[in-house]
């Protein structure tokens, strides 16, 4: 059985790895950036920071953010999101809409989350094709969290929100707590999926 | 104390104007605490009232309690127990 070594595949008519297989005999098919798989972009161990920014989101891709075991420093915080355009994060008074507020300075992504060190937040966020013009930009996802209200240590959440300000292309996403910083626990990952 | 952002995995210190903007946001959040908590309590109470009404409807109709009602009652019991300990 032959082994496919992906680190040896080089693009010659586009970006990213690409190859035609099999290399001899049989019918040819192409393996490369068009296969629709999620591609790893970055993984970051959280430190004590205020804003967690994912910038330089490329045109022609869906993006996914994974938060694994993260937490605010202060108890009972809401997790917020903002989009950026031309590397500037939008924060106008009615730039965003989410599940509870129509016209806000940010998207609210969850219930108030505990800072207890045995709980933490795990969340998957989808951002479909942020860097495209003339289309509404949305962020949505699912989560398991420690919720402050009623002392619920493992609570489910479905969430969504959108940019209301305009339909212009976005090149970044910022995640931050309503108040205070991120704790130095957990990890944040960014993946992307090519749309052509 | 200096504030930092994490930009694509790199820890970057905020500029003075970024810090000032964030301080203002946090001050607004703190000033809004009382109203926010009242709203959260109201929402919880509305949900409880809605579920209670549904439970009464089931009882009057002679139907078994809806699965959601049972789940809600169990959660409330667990939450109360957790608060006591």
A58 and A98 belong to one structural domain:
yes
What does the pLDDT look like over B65-81, one tens digit per residue?
A: 877 778 888 877 887 78
> Is A181 in contact with A65 (CB distance < 8 Å)?
no
A2 and A84 belong to one structural domain:
no
Angle at B21 between CA A68 and CA B25, to 5 degrees: 65
- pTM for the model: 0.77
pLDDT of residue A174: 98
Residue A153 and residue B58: Cα distance in Å, rounded?
30
Residues in Cβ contact with A180 at an 8 Å cutoff, skipping those fewer than 6 apart: A72, A73, A74, A77, B26
What does the pLDDT look like over B41-65, one tens digit per residue?
A: 888 888 888 888 988 998 899 988 8
A58 and A150 belong to one structural domain:
yes
* Residue numbers in B near A55 (CB within 8 A): 7-8
pLDDT of residue A12: 46
Nearest-by-Cβ selection for A49 from B11, B30, B83:
B11
Residue A192 and residue A38: Cα distance in Å, rounded?
5
Whole-number Cα distances in Å, B36 to A78, A179, B14, B20, B41: 11, 13, 28, 23, 9
Residue B6's beta-bridge partner residues? A52, B11
- Asked if A48's CB is within 8 angstroms of B5's CB, the reply is no
pLDDT of residue A14: 47
Tally of CB atoms within 10 A around A34: 13
Chain centroid to CA A189: 8
SS3 of residue B68 by DSSP: helix
The secondary structure of residue B56, as a DSSP letter, is: H
Residue B34 and residue A25: Cα distance in Å, rounded?
73
Residue A59's beta-bridge partner residues? none
Q: A141 or A154: which carries more pLDDT confidence?
A: A141
A131 and A46 belong to one structural domain:
yes
Instruction: Enumerate chain B positions whose Cβ falls within 8 A of a Cβ in A.
Output: 3-9, 11, 14, 21-22, 25-26, 29-30, 40, 44, 75-76, 79, 82-83
- Average pLDDT value for residue range B24-37: 88
Does pLDDT of B15 surpass 50? yes
How many distinct structural domains can be found in chain A?
2
A92 and A125 belong to one structural domain:
yes
- Average pLDDT value for residue range A143-163: 80
A119 and A59 belong to one structural domain:
yes
State chain B's mean pLDDT as an integer.
Answer: 87
Nearest-by-Cβ selection for B7 from A48, A53, A112:
A53
| ipTM associated with this complex | 0.78
Residues spanned by the domain of A40: 36-194
> What is the domain partition of chain B in residue ranges?
1-31, 40-84
What does the pLDDT look like over A54-67, one tens digit per residue?
A: 999 999 999 999 99
Closest-CA residue to A46 (of A176, A175, A180, A182):
A182
A195 inside 8 A of chain B by CB: no
Q: A12 or A44: which carries more pLDDT confidence?
A: A44
pLDDT of residue A172: 98
A16 and A43 belong to one structural domain:
no
A67 and A26 belong to one structural domain:
no
Give the best residue of B9, B36, B76 to mutate against chain A (max A CB count within 10 A).
B9
- CATH code of the domain containing A101: 2.60.120
Does pLDDT of A194 surpass 60? yes
* Residue numbers in B near A188 (CB within 8 A): 6
pLDDT of residue A13: 44
- Asked if B40's CB is within 8 angstroms of A149's CB, the reply is yes
A120 and A52 belong to one structural domain:
yes
SS3 of residue B32 by DSSP: coil
pLDDT class for A17, splitting at 50, 70, 90?
low
Concatenated DSSP letters of chain A: -----GGG---SSSSS--EEESSSSS--EEESGGG---EEEEEEE--S-SEEEE--PPTTEEEEEEEEEE-BSSSSB-EEEEEEETTEE---TTSEEESS-EEESSEE-SS-B---TTT-EEEEEEE---S-SSS--EEEEEEEEEETGGGEEEEEEEEEEEE-S------EEEEEESSS-B-S-SEEEEEEEE--
Count of positions (residues) in chain B: 85
Residue A116 and residue A122: Cα distance in Å, rounded?
14
Residue A63's beta-bridge partner residues? A127, A192
Residues in Cβ contact with B38 at an 8 Å cutoff, skipping those fewer than 6 apart: none
């Amino acid at each position: 059985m032959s082994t496919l070594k992906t680190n040896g595949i080089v693009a010659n008519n586009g970006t990213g790895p690409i190859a035609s297989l099999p290399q001899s005999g049989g019918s040819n098919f192409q393996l490369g950036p068009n296969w629709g798989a999620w591609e790893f972009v970055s993984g970051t161990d959280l430190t004590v920071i205020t804003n967690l920014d994912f910038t330089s989101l490329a045109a022609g891709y869906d993006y996914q953010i994974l938060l694994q075991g993260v937490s605010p420093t202060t108890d009972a915080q809401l997790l917020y999101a903002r989009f950026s355009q031309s590397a500037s994060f939008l924060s106008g008074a009615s730039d965003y809409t989410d599940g509870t507020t129509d016209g806000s300075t940010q998207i609210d992504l969850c219930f108030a989350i505990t800072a207890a060190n045995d709980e933490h937040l795990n969340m998957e966020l989808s951002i479909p094709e942020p860097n495209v013009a003339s289309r509404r930009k949305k962020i949505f996802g699912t989560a398991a969290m420690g919720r402050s209200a009623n002392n619920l240590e493992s609570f489910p959440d479905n969430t969504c929100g959108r940019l209301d300000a305009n339909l212009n292309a976005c090149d970044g996403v910022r995640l931050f707590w309503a108040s205070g910083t991120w704790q130095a626990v957990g990890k944040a990952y960014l993946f992307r999926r090519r749309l052509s | 104390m200096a504030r930092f952002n994490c930009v694509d995995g790199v820890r970057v210190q905020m500029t003075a104007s970024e810090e000032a903007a964030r301080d203002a946001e946090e001050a607004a959040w703190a000033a809004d605490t009382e109203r926010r908590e009242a709203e959260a309590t109201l929402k919880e109470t509305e949900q409880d009232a809605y579920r209670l009404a549904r439970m009464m409807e089931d009882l009057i109709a002679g139907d078994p309690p809806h699965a959601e009602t049972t789940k809600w009652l169990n959660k409330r019991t667990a939450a109360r127990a957790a608060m006591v300990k």
